[in-house]
Amino acid sequence: MRRYIVTGAPGSGKTAIVRALLARGYAVVDEAATDVLTREQQNGVAEPWREPGFLDAVIRLQQERQQRLPADGAVMQVFDQSPICTLTLARYCGLPITRELRTEVNRVVTNTIYQPAVFFVQHDGKIEPTVGGWCTTPDDAERFEELHRSVYQSMRVYELVDVPPMALEDRVDLIDEALQADEVRFSEEAWNY
C-alpha cells in the first residue's frame, strides 16, 4: 500500500483538496483531529485539545484508519494529515508529547508507513474557520506552517512537495499529476526489481 500525506496549516485548504481527490477516484482517509474535536465538542468540551488524552485519541484514530484497508482494494491512499502533523499540533499548542504520540511517530517514520513525498499545502494569507480554533489569524497560520515544515524536515525522510496558493482545481491537478507520475515511477521500479 502506498500512502501519501496532504498537510499544511489549519485553514489552508487541505480537506477541500482531499475531497476533490476523492471525487477523482482516489482512496482518501479523513483527518482524525477534526473528528476527535467535533466529537468532544458535541459532548460539551469547549477546547478538547486542552484535555488530557486528546493527542492520544487523535493518534489512536489515525493509527486505526491507517491500518484499515480500503474497501475497493486500492493500492494507493491519500491521507488528510498524519501523526507527524499531530506532533506539530502538540508543539504549537505547547502540549506535552505523550508516549503514545512519540511511539506512533517513531513507528510511521521507522517503518516508512507513508511515502517520502508529502504534499504541503501552503496557506494563502487568509484563514478559513476550522474546528480547532488554534489558528485564528494569518499570523497564527504562518507560524503553524513554519513549525509544521520544520517538524517534517527534522524527520529527514520526507520530501515536501509545495502546493502553492492557487485555485482549488489547479492544486488538485498538481497533486493528481504528481501521484500519477509517482505511480509510473513505482511501476517501473517494480519491473526492474
105-129 per-position pLDDT tens digit? 999 999 999 999 999 999 887 766 6
Residues 119, 67: Cα–Cα separation, whole Å: 21
CB 97, CB 90: distance < 8 Å = yes
Q: Which helix (H) or strand (E) holds 188?
A: helix 168-192
Grid cell listed for 41: 465538542
Phi-psi region of 43 (alpha: psi -120 to 50; beta: other; left: phi over 0): alpha
**What's residue 147's pLDDT?**
96
Which whole-number Å values give the CA distances from 113 to 16, 47, 106, 146, 167, in the listed order?
24, 30, 10, 24, 30
Residues 49, 95: Cα–Cα separation, whole Å: 9
Q: Output 183 or 88, whichever has higher pLDDT.
A: 88
Residues 137, 148: Cα–Cα separation, whole Å: 16
Check residue 69 and report its DSSP letter. Answer: P
**What's residue 193's pLDDT?**
43
- Could you tell me which residues are beta bridge partners of residue 161? 119
**What's residue 190's pLDDT?**
45
The CATH code of the domain at 2-187 is 3.40.50.300
Quick one: average pLDDT of 137-163?
92
CB 32, CB 38: distance < 8 Å = no
Quick one: average pLDDT of 5-12?
91
Residues 14, 12: Cα–Cα separation, whole Å: 6
Q: Is the pLDDT of residue 149 over 80?
A: yes
Residues 23, 26: Cα–Cα separation, whole Å: 7
* % of the chain with per-residue pLDDT over 70: 89
Task: Give residue-wise pLDDT tens across range 35-61.
Answer: 999 999 999 998 898 898 999 999 999
Q: Is the pLDDT of residue 132 over 80?
A: no
CB 7, CB 121: distance < 8 Å = yes
Computed over every residue of the chain, the mean pLDDT equals 89
Q: Return the closest-CA partner of residue 105 out of 56, 51, 160.
A: 56
Q: Output 135 or 72, whichever has higher pLDDT.
A: 72
What pTM was computed for the model? 0.89
**What's residue 11's pLDDT?**
83
Contacts of 27 (CB under 8 A, 6+ apart): 70, 72, 74, 76, 77, 78
**What's residue 124's pLDDT?**
83
Give the start-to-end residue ranges of the domains of the chain.
2-187
